[in-house]
Structure 1
Amino acid sequence: MTQRLPPSLTPLDAALAALLRDVGPVAPVELQLAEAAGCIGAGTSLVAYPSSDIAVADGWALRANDLVGASAYSPLPLTEAPAWVEAGDAMPAGCDSVLDADAVDASGPLVQVLAEGVPGQGVRRAGSDIAGRAPVMAEGHPVTPAALLLARVAGLNRLRVRRPRLLVVNVPGATATMHMIAEIARAAGLEVQLREAAARDAASVAEALDVSACDLLLTIGGSGVGRHDAAATALARHGDVLAHGLALQPGRTVAVGRLGKVPVVALPGSPDQALAAWFALVRPLVDRLSARQLRRQVTLPLARKIASGVGIAEIALLVEEHKAWMPLAVGEWPLQAIARADAWLLIPAGDEGFAAGDPADAYLMQE
Structure 2
Amino acid sequence: MTQRLPPSLTPLETALAALLRGVDPVMPIELPLAEAAGCTAAGVPLLSAYPPCDIAAVDGWALRANDLVGASSYSPLPLTEPPAWVDAGDAMPAGCDCVLDAGAVEVSGALALVLAEGLPGQGVGRSGSDVAESAPVATAGYPVGAAALLLARVAGTEKLSVRRPRLRIVNVPGATTTMQMITDLARAAGLDVVAHEASTRDAVSIAEALDVSACDLLLTIGGSGVGRADVAVTALAQRGAEFAHGLALQPGRTAAVGRLGKVPVAALPGAPGPALAVWFALVLPLIDRLSARQPRRTVTLPLARKIASSVGIAEVALLAEEHKTWMPLAVGEWPLHAIARADAWLLIPASHEGFAASEPVGAYLMRE
Shorter-normalised TM-score: what interval? over 0.9
Q: Structure 1 CA distance, aligned partners of 2:294 and 2:40?
A: 9
- The question of whether the paired residues in 2 share the 8 Å contact of 1:171 and 1:197 is answered with yes
Q: What is aligned with 2:226?
A: 225
Q: How does 1:1-367 map to 2 (within 5 A)?
A: 1-42=1-42, 43-107=44-108, 109-367=110-368
- Paired with 1:109 and 1:229, the residues of 2 have a C-alpha distance of 89
* Contact 2:98–2:119, Cα closer than 8 Å, also in 1: yes
**TM-score scaled to structure 1, two decimals?**
0.96
Displacement after TM superposition at 1:176 (Å): 0.9
Q: Counterpart of 1:286 in 2: which secondary structure?
A: helix
Could you tell me how far apart the structure 1 residues matched to 2:169 and 2:241 are? Answer: 18
Measured in 2, the distance between the counterparts of 1:157 and 1:105 equals: 44
Contact 1:185 1:192 (C-alpha < 8 Å) held by counterparts: yes
* Distance (whole Å) between structure 2 residues aligned to residue 112 and residue 339 of structure 1: 64
2:257 touches 2:265 (CA, 8 Å); kept in 1?
yes
Give the conservation status (yes or no) of the 8 Å contact 1:15–1:242.
Answer: no
C-alpha distance in 1, partners of 2:75/2:288?
67
Return the alpha-carbon distance in structure 1 between the equivalents of residues 76 and 104 of structure 2. Answer: 10
Instruction: State how far apart, in whole Å, the 2-side matches of 1:192 and 1:96 are.
Output: 52
Paired residues, number: 367
After TM superposition, the runs of 4+ consecutive aligned structure 1 residues lying more than 4 A away are: none
Identity %: 76
1:240 to partner: Cα distance: 3.2
Q: Secondary structure at the match of 1:112?
A: strand
Residue 183 of structure 1 deviates from its aligned partner by 0.9
Q: Deviations over 1:318-361 (max 9, x none)?
A: 11122111111110111111111111111000000011111111
Deviates more, 1:35-44 or 1:353-362: 35-44
Structure 1 vs Structure 2 CA RMSD? 1.4
**Could you tell me how far apart the structure 2 residues matched to 1:108 and 1:184 are?**
65
Deviation string for 1:35-87 (max 9, x for gaps)? 22211111132221101110011111111122223233333332221111011
- Tell me the CA shift for residue 91 of structure 1: 0.5
2:60 & 2:323 partners in 1: Cα distance? 50
Distance 1:245 1:201 in 2: 20
For residues 5 and 53 of structure 2, what CA distance do their matches in structure 1 show? 67
- Separation in structure 1 between the aligned mates of residue 99 and residue 221 of structure 2, nearest angstrom: 63
Separation (CA, whole Å) in 1 of partners of 2:169 and 2:159: 27
Answer whether contact 2:81 2:110 (CA < 8 A) is retained.
no
Shift of 1:108: 5.5
Q: CA–CA distance in 2 between the matches of 1:108 and 1:276? A: 75
The more displaced of 233-242 and 173-182 is 233-242
Alignment TM-score, normalising by the size of structure 2: 0.96
Deviations 1:105-158 (A, max 9, x none): 222543232222111000000111001221122111111112221122112222
- Matches of 1:216 and 1:45, distance apart in 2: 31
- AA aligned to 1:262 is V
Deviation at 1:160, TM superposition (A): 1.8
Which 10-residue stretch deviates more, 356-365 or 26-35?
26-35
- Could you tell me which runs of 5 or more consecutive residues in structure 1 were left unpaired when the two chains were aligned: none
Separation in 2, partners of 1:247, 1:51: 58
Contact 2:82 2:110 in 1 (8 A): no
Work out whether residues 255 and 266 of structure 2, in 8 Å CA contact, stay in contact via their aligned partners in 1: yes
On the 8 A contact 1:232/1:241 being kept in 2, the answer is no
Alignment partners' CA distance in 2, 1:278 and 1:315: 11
Q: Structure 2: 5+ residue runs without aligned partners?
A: none
2:3 is paired with a residue whose SS is coil
Deviation, structure 1 residue 14:
0.9
Please list the CA deviations of residues 234-289 of structure 1 after superposition, one character each: whole Å capped at 9, or x if unmatched. Answer: 22332432311110000111111112221100101111110000000001111111
